[in-house]
């Protein structure tokens, strides 16, 4: 029996969350052993080469998202020849990208002494190490194109299940290699083998799920389809470049300022690492959701899409309210008292406050991004990301001197508000829902007011509890209790009679019932 959209989203999201949590735990274990066995110099070299290759990976430029959108309709209509044609083009494009990355890697090699001159000497050749990193990145594109076929068919949980198993095997192997051989070459080689094996297994799964497509010979797409696909890739490339610029310019500008030392950048990175982990977990849900929305968009039913959006927007608000309250209440105490246990690692309250604010307004755009991708609105507003990136750099430089680090971080939020925050809702409401955008702003501001109320109440009670308790660990545990109880209780009290709240409960009820039945079966 075919699964419903809701079941596919729930299964994909659950597998995504499991994979993310497992990956973070395993990566932490591998990184700890890596530093203990090879040392800080190797850790710095690995980080530097990873950053260089991440910039080179811009060659993909959103091709996977464009292909996924193009696949929604033929998958729904079971047009296997069209699917085979798209996958044939996709395969050729990814082979070209892998080749471009290899050529770019070789072209960079003569400049490595300048790029890595601040990295202390290590016993292995930096040229061989860099070549292995280029090979690892390039190999990740071989056979990877078939992942999109499963994702577009709302079967991303198969990909996540395979990746989870391969990640466990990879991490165990890396730890064994580091502990037994202490070899950087072998450590990188494990990553290359992981990319090839996991992509091959996923490719076999896709062939098994689409045997008819595998038998067909891909044909050249018609000129109109190719032109539309290239147009979408071009528009998506701007979004991807913008995301890369936003994630890197703040640190570059702050580190370039003579008044701030490297240690300050490290303190800031502690906060950002935790927030980015929360963002990654939230993103897993939306990655699983987009194919289902694409399947829904094919029906061209504006009212139905708006109904789903209202439910998704409310669920996003609930998650973001809880996460924002928890982050702003727990970040500094966790870093200062639980994790690093040194007072100088704590930054002024304004820093986590602006970081959490940008997290909130950025994550609240995720439903809009999902509906934009699902409906193929890549070209409309394609210059918005470019304007956002330019404005962010300009404001960061302008606010650095008067406001310091806070000004640079605030520039990201200001540029987001001035471009993305108002334009994307306007575009989706006009092109997809065919409704006035004022309906969106009524929801947005009502939800944001509730979030501010929860933050204020939780912070005030937490500060009062700290003064009464005194000891760090018990006080931190009380803060966790407040974060769990206050936002969730307030949301239930305020929205319990609203139709959207009742709809969310109705959609979740079948899954809670299944969990109860599972636990009943486990009882003796």
pLDDT digits (tens, 9 = 90+) for 417-441: 988 888 888 888 988 888 898 999 9
Model confidence at 113: pLDDT above 60: yes
Model confidence at 176: pLDDT above 80: yes
pLDDT of residue 252: 57
What single-letter DSSP state applies at residue 436? Answer: -
Confidence of residue 394 (pLDDT cuts 50, 70, 90): confident
Q: How many CB atoms lie within 10 A of CB 32?
A: 11
Residue 118: phi and psi, rounded to 5, are: -90, 0
**Joined tokens for residue 246:** 């936003």
Question: Mean per-residue pLDDT for 374-380?
Answer: 71
pLDDT of residue 321: 94
Confidence of residue 325 (pLDDT cuts 50, 70, 90): very high
8 Å CB contact between 410 and 354: yes
pLDDT of residue 262: 46
Burial class (CB in 10 A: 0-12, 13-18, 19+), 225: middle
pLDDT, tens digit (0-9, with 9 covering 90-100), for 131-166? 888 888 888 777 777 777 777 776 777 777 787 888
8 Å CB contact between 428 and 372: yes
pLDDT of residue 133: 84
pLDDT, tens digit (0-9, with 9 covering 90-100), for 497-514? 888 888 887 776 655 555
Q: In the chain, where are the structural domains located?
A: 1-221
Model confidence at 203: pLDDT above 70: yes
Model confidence at 334: pLDDT above 60: yes
pLDDT of residue 446: 94
Confidence of residue 522 (pLDDT cuts 50, 70, 90): very low
Burial class (CB in 10 A: 0-12, 13-18, 19+), 308: buried
Burial class (CB in 10 A: 0-12, 13-18, 19+), 149: buried
pLDDT of residue 489: 94
- CA distances to 13, 15, 155, 500 from 506, rounded to whole Å, are 18, 22, 24, 10
pLDDT of residue 360: 94
Rounded distance between C-alpha atoms, residue 404 and residue 306, angstroms: 42
The residue written with tokens 């990879």 in the block is 170
Higher pLDDT, 309 or 25: 309
Model confidence at 82: pLDDT above 90: no
Rounded distance between C-alpha atoms, residue 16 and residue 159, angstroms: 10
User: pTM of this prediction?
Assistant: 0.66
Model confidence at 44: pLDDT above 60: no
- Whole-number average pLDDT of the chain: 78
pLDDT of residue 515: 44
8 Å CB contact between 419 and 288: no
Question: Mean per-residue pLDDT for 220-244?
Answer: 68
Which of 381-390, 396-405, 461-470 is predicted with the least confidence, judged by mean pLDDT? Answer: 381-390
Model confidence at 66: pLDDT above 50: yes
Which of 11-20, 148-157, 306-315, 461-470 is predicted with the least confidence, judged by mean pLDDT? Answer: 11-20
Question: Mean per-residue pLDDT for 365-377?
Answer: 80
Most confident of 35-39, 67-71, 136-140: 136-140
8 Å CB contact between 30 and 302: no
Residue from 194, 202, 185 nearest 167 by CA:
194
């Amino acid at each position: 029996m075919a699964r419903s959209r809701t079941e596919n989203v729930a299964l994909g999201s659950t597998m995504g969350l499991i994979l993310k949590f497992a990956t973070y735990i395993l990566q932490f274990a591998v990184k700890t052993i890596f530093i203990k066995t090879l040392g800080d110099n190797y850790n710095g070299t690995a980080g530097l080469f990873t950053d260089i290759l991440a910039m080179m990976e811009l060659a993909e430029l959103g091709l996977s998202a464009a292909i996924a959108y193009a696949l929604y309709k033929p998958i729904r209509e079971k047009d296997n020849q069209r699917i085979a044609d798209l996958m044939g083009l996709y395969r050729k494009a990814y082979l070209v990208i892998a080749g471009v990355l290899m050529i770019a890697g070789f072209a960079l090699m003569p400049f490595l002494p300048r790029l890595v001159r601040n990295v202390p000497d290590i016993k292995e050749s930096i040229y061989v190490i860099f070549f292995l990193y280029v090979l690892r990145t390039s190999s990740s594109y071989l056979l990877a194109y078939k992942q999109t076929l499963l994702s577009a068919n709302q079967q991303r949980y198969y990909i996540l299940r395979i990746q989870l198993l391969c990640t466990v095997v990879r991490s165990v192997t890396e730890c064994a290699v580091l502990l037994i051989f202490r070899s950087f070459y072998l450590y990188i080689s494990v990553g290359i083998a992981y990319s090839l094996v996991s992509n091959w297994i996923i490719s076999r799964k896709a062939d098994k799920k689409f045997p008819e497509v595998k038998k067909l010979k891909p044909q050249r797409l018609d000129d109109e389809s190719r032109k539309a696909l290239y147009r979408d890739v071009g528009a998506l490339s701007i979004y991807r470049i913008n995301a890369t610029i936003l994630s890197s310019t703040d640190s570059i500008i702050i580190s370039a300022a003579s008044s701030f030392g490297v240690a300050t950048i490290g303190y800031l990175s502690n906060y950002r690492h935790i927030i980015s982990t929360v963002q990654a977990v939230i993103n897993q849900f939306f990655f699983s959701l987009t194919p289902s929305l694409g399947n829904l968009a094919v029906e061209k039913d504006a009212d139905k899409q708006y109904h789903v959006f209202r439910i998704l927007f409310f669920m996003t608000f609930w998650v973001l309210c809880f996460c924002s309250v928890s982050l702003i209440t727990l970040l500094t105490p966790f870093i200062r008292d639980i994790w690093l246990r040194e007072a100088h690692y704590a930054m002024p309250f304004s820093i986590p406050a602006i970081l959490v604010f940008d997290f909130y307004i950025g994550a609240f755009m995720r439903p809009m991004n999902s509906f934009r991708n699902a409906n193929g609105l890549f070209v409309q507003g394609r210059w918005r990301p470019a304007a956002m990136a330019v404005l962010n750099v300009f404001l960061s430089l302008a606010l650095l001197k008067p406001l310091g680090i806070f000004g640079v971080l605030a520039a990201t939020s200001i540029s987001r508000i001035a471009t993305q925050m108002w334009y994307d809702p306007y575009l989706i409401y006009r092109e997809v829902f065919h409704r006035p955008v004022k309906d969106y702003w009524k929801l947005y501001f009502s939800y944001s007011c509730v979030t501010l109320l929860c933050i204020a109440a939780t912070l005030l009670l937490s500060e009062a509890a700290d003064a009464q308790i005194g000891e760090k660990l018990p006080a931190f545990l009380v803060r966790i209790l407040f974060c769990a109880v206050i936002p969730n209780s307030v949301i239930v009290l305020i929205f319990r009679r609203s139709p959207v709240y009742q709809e969310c409960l109705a959609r979740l009820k079948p899954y809670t019932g299944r969990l109860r039945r599972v636990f009943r079966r486990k009882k003796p």
